[in-house]
Amino acid sequence: MIWDPYNECMDVEQRARLQVWRLRETVARLKANVPFYRERFRDIDLEPEDIRSLEDLEHLPFTTKDDLRDNYPYGLFAVPLEEVVRVHASSGTTGKPTVVGYTAEDIDLWAECMARSIGCAGGTPHDILQVSYGYGLFTGGLGLHFGGERMGCTVIPMSSGNTERQLMMMRDLGTTILACTPSYALTIADTARDLGISADELKLKSGIFGAEPWSEGSRKAVEEMLGLSAHDIYGLSEVLGPGVSNECEAKNGLHVFDDHFIPEIIDPATGKRLPDGEPGELVFTCITKRCLPLIRYRTRDVSTLTHEICSCGRTHPRMGRIRGRTDDMLIIRGVNVFPSQIEHVLLGIEEAQPHYQLVVRREGRLDVLEVQVEVAGELFSDTVRRLEEVERKIAHALYTALGITVQVKLVEPKTLARSEGKAKRVLDLREGV
């Protein structure tokens, strides 16, 4: 279902005119209300009228997570606090969280974007939406919740955790759409299997999974185990929360709702904009937000963009599945490694289960990457030779994909910690990292 055909299928040129107009208006507002941006614009002699086309966006300064931290907690808000009706927060890399604010208009915009997202995932007002993202400062729970209500779904505000109860409600209330992190979806699927609940006993048709990187392999596993069609949803608190982009039924990239957030891909080293198809750092400019309209916000997420029109009829550009973050990219003996690449490999291996952890150590002067992966319990009752064979097979597949040697350690089922929210995949034990 296309929730808002007028805006989602708008002629691209018409949308570009709208974007330029909105960008100019946002710059004017920031200049008037936010000292940080006033100074940045003064430094480059920028007046709102100078913005005449989308190309001019490239001359605007970037905003980073450090800028948010330096102006903690409210310094970048473009409206007085009395107009702010809600705050959320995401964990910062050090100490203080990043605090973001919303006016009533922003909350309304968010619900609209989320209704678009749910529509992309095949949702309609007839659906029963179980929201199993955490409720609270994290944007996942309330974001999906308000979007579901806007769509007209029957919303079950479960929040995350208590997996058996999740399954009971899912079965009893006839949940048709499940929204949670992909790693929690796997946990739910595993628990269903343990309890002997088959996909046929559930009415699930669709899943809206995001907030952390995941792979095609995870998609397949979750789709099979839960009997649903899994859709990737992306977003970040600084820009909105969930609902910045979402996969449609074509599952060929996530539609970025660029009438509100203009995406760019840049080379993280030089800051130069990259052409369609080339991977780089995602950058967003908010052109409709009232409280926190960030300009060229550097997400540190690595992706690609395409402006080719999708078969679903939406004319928004599409971003590729997030490949990792510029800051959780591991550099192992000089080679860039993203945890998502490893996940992709593991899920292509029959004996491997979709639960893994990466441990990085320094032995002498050498970085060592150990991949711990769960395998079926039966394997442990086999011969040692069989276990070694599987280890070698995984190490070889990883070597082919990454170009480095990794240590593989097979562990028994349910040894690695299960996730109810964002999974923590990497344990970096190197000093100074």
| Shortest distance in whole angstroms from residue 397 CB to ligand DLL | 23
Q: CB under 8 Å to 334, separation ≥6 — which residues?
A: none
Residue 245 is classified by DSSP as E
Query: Does residue 236 touch ligand DLL according to CB under 6 A?
Result: yes
Query: Does residue 234 touch ligand DLL according to CB under 6 A?
Result: yes
Query: Does residue 235 touch ligand DLL according to CB under 6 A?
Result: yes
Query: Does residue 351 touch ligand DLL according to CB under 6 A?
Result: no
Which residue has 């409280």 as its token pair?
A: 291
Query: Does residue 186 touch ligand DLL according to CB under 6 A?
Result: no
Query: Does residue 421 touch ligand DLL according to CB under 6 A?
Result: no
DSSP codes joined into one string, 304-355: -EE-SPPTTS--S-EEPPP-EETTT-EEETTEEE-HHHHHHHHHTSTTEEEE
Which phi and psi (to 5°) does residue 96 adopt?
A: -70, 145
How many residues interact with ligand DLL (rule CB under 6 A)?
21
Query: Does residue 242 touch ligand DLL according to CB under 6 A?
Result: yes
Helix (H) or strand (E) holding 397: helix 384-402
Contact (Cβ atoms closer than 8 angstroms) between residue 338 and residue 302 = yes
Query: Does residue 281 touch ligand DLL according to CB under 6 A?
Result: no
Nearer to ligand DLL, 190 or 301 (CB): 301
Query: Does residue 263 touch ligand DLL according to CB under 6 A?
Result: no
Site for ligand DLL in 359-418 (CB under 6 A): none
- Candidates 29-37, 69-77, 134-142, 424-432: pick the segment binding ligand DLL (CB under 6 A): 134-142
Q: Which two tokens stand for residue 119?
A: 């529509």
Query: Does residue 211 touch ligand DLL according to CB under 6 A?
Result: yes
Helix (H) or strand (E) holding 84: strand 84-90
Nearer to ligand DLL, 140 or 332 (CB): 140
- Candidates 40-48, 121-129, 133-141, 377-385: pick the segment binding ligand DLL (CB under 6 A): 133-141
Nearer to ligand DLL, 25 or 216 (CB): 216
| Shortest distance in whole angstroms from residue 339 CB to ligand DLL | 11
For residue 175, how many other CB atoms are within 10 A of its CB? Answer: 25
Which phi and psi (to 5°) does residue 30 adopt?
A: -65, -40
Contact (Cβ atoms closer than 8 angstroms) between residue 109 and residue 116 = no
Query: Does residue 343 touch ligand DLL according to CB under 6 A?
Result: no
Query: Does residue 139 touch ligand DLL according to CB under 6 A?
Result: yes
Contact (Cβ atoms closer than 8 angstroms) between residue 285 and residue 30 = no
What distance, in Å, lies between the first and last C-alpha atoms of the chain? Answer: 46
Q: Which residues contact ligand DLL (rule: CB under 6 A)? A: 90, 133, 138-140, 210-213, 232-237, 241-242, 299, 301, 322, 325
